[in-house]
Amino acid sequence: MAGKTLFDKIWQAHEICQNEEGQSLLWVDRHLAHEGSFHAFNKLAERNLPVLHPECTIGIADHYVPTNSRNLIAVQPKVRSVIQQLIDNTRRHDVTLIGLDDPRQGIVHVVGPEQGITQPGLLMVCGDSHTSTHGALGALAFGIGASEVAHVLATQTLWQTKPKRMRITVSGTLTPGVTAKDIALSWIAKLGADGARGYAIEYAGDVVEELSIEARLTLCNLSIEGGGRCGMIAPDEKAINYVSGRAYAPKGKDLELAVEYWRTLRSDDDAEFDREIVLNGEDIAPTVTWGVSPEQALPIDSVVPDPAVADSVSSARQIQDSLDYMGLTPGQKLTDIQVDKVFIGSCTNARLEDLRAAADVLRGKTSKVPGIVSPGSTLIKVKAEAEGLDKVFTDAGLEWRESGCSMCVGMNGDLIASGERCASTTNRNFKGRQGPGSRTHLMSPVMVAAAALTGHLSDIRNLRS
């Protein structure tokens, strides 16, 4: 028999049974709930059901929280209502809440790893597509819908169809200025937004092994943007050391037993994948999006595509639609695209390593455009301020905010005005994602910092030369 993949090992460890349609009933180890979970809690209330295992769910306020203050009175009534519902629902069901006034507060996919809630071998879910982030530590983690959230709250289980397995191997080394964000945008541009649909992705190879845990979290975060059900990286000593000692991590003898198990969580040498993708690290350049999907991305030294030379009529139509919305011209150099705002934040790129990298570019210089920097958690904010990173950003002319999803999702008051263009470290550039009519270009923190200094999309490699 062929060996097992990392995904297979964790799936099988959590599979309770299968139904006649071939779906698997899975045990859920950890459930993370943000403000959007009120729909699921309402379903429980309608049926007068309790949360079966409240100790397995953790509530975290992030999507709707204001980043310019922590005063709920100052925010819009609708926003305040959604946050209050999370407070009320977690209190009613005896669920732990990391709320606005909690020193651990932050973006759910930042707080999970930071607190040790995320651990190798766990099956984790959240009502948010970017739950794939947690796979960077060897967990099987994926986003679920409102009805599924209700099912997890009521039963601590979930019915799922088993996805196929894909391995993306990144060999060689990365060149200076290239980051995990560029790896992700590159493979998504290569395979397309649906290229990994129906697959569980495992990232492997020399480049992935050399990435820091924070960079791995960025890479797995973007798995969903290429259609993947989840993204995973086998836990190595780097991952084990990251988790050990954190608040929710096992202690003492339990940790020893856990580590012994964690070290078994790797794909067997003879494991078979349904699809294999190999990328060369040296071929990956700093990458930015030009259109309205993460797949519409190109190396920064490229030009805006021309629909006239597209492969098909539908592709030409799609390119033209994106150009019309983004206000771009075929053949225009990406480095000629002017920006109005910059944003550094989100569950993709708001960790301490990201802030340090952007600050290194901005230190002692002045941004030509306004922008916001929102750390991924309150603890990251405290650490960044202890290092003086906040002063680097404010001295450059950018706003230093509280932690939260902020300008990534456009539902908390942090918006880009219609027609304005933003260089952003976020994960999605769909039409109106950062506000109605907003235009978003995705890129790494250092590339956003470069755009801030020049006022247009810029190649970080040229700024550092």
The model's pLDDT over 157-168, given as tens digits with 9 standing for 90+, comes to: 999 999 999 999
- What pLDDT does 176 receive? 96
Taking the CA atoms of residue 41, residue 80, residue 350 and residue 335 in that order, the dihedral angle to the nearest 10 degrees is: 120
Mean pLDDT of 358-366: 98
What's the pLDDT band for 410 if we cut at 50, 70, 90?
Answer: confident
- What pLDDT does 231 receive? 98
Classify residue 282: in a domain, yes or no: no
- What pLDDT does 73 receive? 74
Does the pLDDT value for residue 291 go beyond 90?
A: yes
For residue 289, give the nearest of 185, 422, 192 by alpha carbon.
185
Mean pLDDT of 461-465: 81
pTM: 0.97
Region of 91 on the Ramachandran plot (φ > 0 left; ψ -120 to 50 alpha; else beta): alpha
Say whether both 373 and 265 belong to one domain.
no
Say whether both 264 and 151 belong to one domain.
yes
For residue 295, give the nearest of 407, 374, 197 by alpha carbon.
197
Percentage of the chain with pLDDT > 70?
99
For residue 404, give the nearest of 83, 91, 122 by alpha carbon.
83
Long-range contacts of 394-397 (CB under 8 A, 24+ apart): 395/364, 396/362, 396/365, 396/366, 396/367, 396/452, 397/366, 397/367, 397/370
- What pLDDT does 413 receive? 85
Mean pLDDT of 197-211: 98
Say whether both 328 and 454 belong to one domain.
yes
- What pLDDT does 229 receive? 97
Say whether both 108 and 218 belong to one domain.
yes
- What pLDDT does 282 receive? 98
Say whether both 338 and 263 belong to one domain.
no
- Three state DSSP letters for the chain: CCECCHHHHHHHHHEEEECCCCCEEEECCEEEECHHHHHHHHHHHHCCCCCCCHHHEEEECCCCCCCCCCCHHHCCHHHHHHHHHHHHHHHHCCCEEECCCCCCCECHHHHHHHHCCCCCCCEEEECCHHHHHHHHHCCEEEECCHHHHHHHHHHCEEEECCCEEEEEEEECCCCCCCCHHHHHHHHHHHHCCCCCCCEEEEEECHHHHHCCHHHHHHHHHHHHHHCCCEEECCCCHHHHHHHCCCCCCCCHHHHHHHHHHHCCCCCCCCECCCEEEEEEHHHCCCEEECCCCCCCEEECCCECCCHHHCCCHHHHHHHHHHHHHHCCCCCCEHHHCECCEEEECCCCCCCHHHHHHHHHHHCCCCCCCCEEECCCEHHHHHHHHHCCHHHHHHHHCCEECCCCCHHHCCCCCCCCCCCCEEEECCCCCCCCCCCCCCEEEECCHHHHHHHHHHCECCCHHHHHC
Classify residue 1: in a domain, yes or no: no
Mean pLDDT of 346-357: 98
Classify residue 309: in a domain, yes or no: yes
- What pLDDT does 1 receive? 67
Distance (Å, rounded) from C-alpha 139 to C-alpha 10? 8
Does the pLDDT value for residue 357 go beyond 70?
A: yes
Classify residue 433: in a domain, yes or no: yes
Say whether both 297 and 329 belong to one domain.
yes
Does the pLDDT value for residue 268 go beyond 80?
A: yes
Mean pLDDT of 129-144: 98
Question: What's the CATH number where 10 sits?
Answer: 3.30.499.10
Classify residue 280: in a domain, yes or no: no
Say whether both 265 and 300 belong to one domain.
no
Percentage of the chain with pLDDT > 90?
94
Indicate the number of domains in the chain. 2
Name the one residue in this structure whose structure tokens are 């309770």: 16
Say whether both 263 and 312 belong to one domain.
no
- Domain span at residue 186 reads 6-275
Residues in the chain: 465
| 73-77, 82-86, 256-260, 409-413 — most confident range | 256-260
Mean pLDDT of 273-283: 98
pLDDT in tens, 29-48: 999 999 999 999 999 999 99
Mean pLDDT of 198-205: 98
Classify residue 95: in a domain, yes or no: yes
Mean pLDDT of 74-84: 84
Say whether both 369 and 458 belong to one domain.
yes
Averaged pLDDT of the chain: 96
> Which has the higher per-residue pLDDT, 290 or 1?
290
Say whether both 269 and 291 belong to one domain.
no
Does the pLDDT value for residue 72 go beyond 90?
A: no
